[in-house]
Amino acid sequence: MRIFFVNYRHDSASLGLSRSRISRLVALLLTALASTIALPPPASAQADYRNLDAGRPIAVEDAQPLEFRALEFQFGIPRFSRERRGHWLYAFDPEFKWGIFKDTQFGISSEFVVAHSAGRTVSSLADTQFHVLYNFNEETPRFPAIAIRPELTVPTGGFSSGDAHGSLKLIASKTFGHNRIHFNGSWTAGPTATPGRGGELVTRYFYGLAYERTLPLKFLVLLADVNAHRPIDNSPTEVAFELGTRVQLTPGWVLDAGISTGRLRPSVGHDFGFVFGLSRSFSFRGLFPR
């Protein structure tokens, strides 16, 4: 995300969110986190450390949806990136997912951004995204797993893209022993945003290739990807390289962490960034047939 502060006033009208509403939002998210931690052991759902989600910890995701009838909360705490010295941002990215049908998941995610530039710090919500991920081709020895992910992104704050956008992503994953290869490609329909607006949840197009190495006895995966995306504000295409890991801490908890750089293309993208997050998977016995 690129944040510009030209003609940008630090008040509730420009941010689209008052300080009191920001405080209530943070309190709500903290309450959700505390409630999730306090939940009893899952009835059947179990976290899968190999189930890659977009941005957790790399941009490329896999074609496997959440387990049927399972629910999952994800907490990015937080994601950081630096454009250049003196220009940086933190983003808190909560997400909720539900295995609503067999081979199908529904999800909702949002961004709360704190950005600093030219000695000024501002904060606001950005976009909120709704998605459905459907796996229509299970992996076989000859063919990869293939899924599609329709997305709807709507503006919800001062750092948003300003309009609703619809996207369609194609995802393919193929396993070779303890190794997996993932490909993602997406395109977004909707108006071009004002320069400097729009966050990580909406881009004009995106494509990426990732490699995954599993260490099953340690419940750990090592990840690397290269991806390119063009921001919805029509600024130059950014190319990023990312390294990350996911580890299963308990049957219901997965930790992810990663680092990235957008300097594969000169003068475009962030200097460096890192992400750290937790995922909590659970379910309710009432969702399962007797």
DSSP 236: P
Q: Count CB neighbours of 86 within 10 A.
A: 10
The string of pLDDT tens digits covering residues 268-281 is 888 899 999 999 99
Which amino acid, residue 76?
G
CA–CA distance, 142 with 144 (Å, rounded to integer): 7
Q: Are 164 and 153 in contact (CB under 8 A)?
A: yes
- Res 24: pLDDT: 54
- Res 5: pLDDT: 37
Report cis status (omega within 30 of 0) of the bond before 41: no
DSSP conformation letters of 191-234: PPPPTT---TT-EEEEEEEEEEEEEGGGTEEEEEEEEEEEETT-
> Average pLDDT of each block of 10 consecutive residues along the chain (290 residues)?
37 42 50 49 70 94 94 90 84 94 96 88 92 95 96 91 95 97 97 82 95 95 97 92 96 95 85 94 84
Structural domains of the chain, ranges and CATH numbers in brackets: 12-285 (2.40.160.40)
pTM: 0.83
